Amino acid sequence: MARWEPGARERLVLAAIDLFAEQGYDETTVAQIAQRAGVAKSTFFRHFPDKRDLLVAGQQTLSRLLAEGIAEAPESATPLEAVAAGLERASNSMGPVNHELAPRLKAAVEANVELQARDALKSVGLAVAMTDALVARGVPDPTAHLAGELGVLAFKRGYAQWLDADADAALAPYVLAALEDLGSASRSLT
């Protein structure tokens, strides 16, 4: 086993998802994950504090992409247009590998209450990233919070629809259509 072989983090995530799908989250140990990934157990702990954190492995990257997209939206963009820019940027980073792994990850989350809680915290983190990016643009706090929450909901809805689509389909059109639908629905509330 190569000590510093590249891609260890990604291999750990893939190994964990496969093991969670095969034998369940509770029955999967860190040692099994490390072995399947071809790394030492200590390597696992260099990348993750525990196996729960495997499920939010991409959260920091996703949050960063959302915030960057919002920050780079045209100055004239409305809050929802800025969120759309963030969602598009983040969605464009996901491809066929994400499409392939998502059903196994979803099954693992649905089968374990602890993972459901961790997934909910991930959604909160994404909403905070978008809200903070909007506030930094000068969007008033309540509006920024609402737009951030709509962004998370749009991402979830678009992602779910994307999983039912062809593996080569791009995620962004689904997420942006979901945001448009939610924006229309929110306008009908008044």
78 and 143 fall within a common domain: yes
- Domain total in the chain: 2
d(CA 61, CA 7): 16
47 and 106 fall within a common domain: no
177 and 109 fall within a common domain: yes
95 and 17 fall within a common domain: no
Give the model confidence (pLDDT) of 114-130 as tens digits: 888 888 888 999 999 99
- Yes or no: say if 73 and 81 are a contact pair by the CB < 8 Å rule: yes
The region of weakest confidence among 5-14, 22-31, 33-42, 141-150 is 5-14
Beta-carbon contacts of 167 under 8 Å, excluding residues fewer than 6 positions away, are 96, 99, 100
Smallest Cα–Cα separation from 115: which of 180, 24, 31, 2? 24
40 and 65 fall within a common domain: no
13 and 31 fall within a common domain: yes
Whether 19 maps to a domain, the answer reads yes
CATH number at residue 80: 1.10.357.10
Query: Which pLDDT band, with edges at 50, 70 and 90, does 2 fall under?
Result: very low
35 and 81 fall within a common domain: no
Q: State residue 9's pLDDT score.
A: 85
Two tokens, residue 118: 């961790």
Domain boundary among 52, 69, 86: 52
**pTM value?**
0.84
109 and 180 fall within a common domain: yes
Whether 1 maps to a domain, the answer reads no
Give the model confidence (pLDDT) of 69-88 as tens digits: 999 999 999 999 999 999 99
96 and 24 fall within a common domain: no
Q: How many CB atoms lie within 10 A of CB 95?
A: 12
165 and 116 fall within a common domain: yes
117 and 151 fall within a common domain: yes
- Yes or no: say if 70 and 82 are a contact pair by the CB < 8 Å rule: yes
21 and 92 fall within a common domain: no
Q: State residue 6's pLDDT score.
A: 61
End-to-end CA distance of the chain: 61
d(CA 20, CA 7): 20
Q: For residue 96, is pLDDT > 90?
A: no
Whether 44 maps to a domain, the answer reads yes
Q: How many CB atoms lie within 10 A of CB 156?
A: 14
57 vs 145, residue with greater confidence: 145
In percent, the amount of the chain with pLDDT more than 90 equals 57
Whether 2 maps to a domain, the answer reads no
Q: For residue 140, is pLDDT > 70?
A: yes
Q: Please give the residue range of the domain that contains residue 29.
A: 8-52
Cα Rg, the chain, nearest whole Å = 18
Smallest Cα–Cα separation from 181: which of 87, 44, 73, 95? 87
d(CA 46, CA 44): 5
CATH number at residue 38: 1.10.10.60
Query: Which pLDDT band, with edges at 50, 70 and 90, does 187 fall under?
Result: confident
The region of weakest confidence among 28-37, 100-109, 142-151 is 100-109
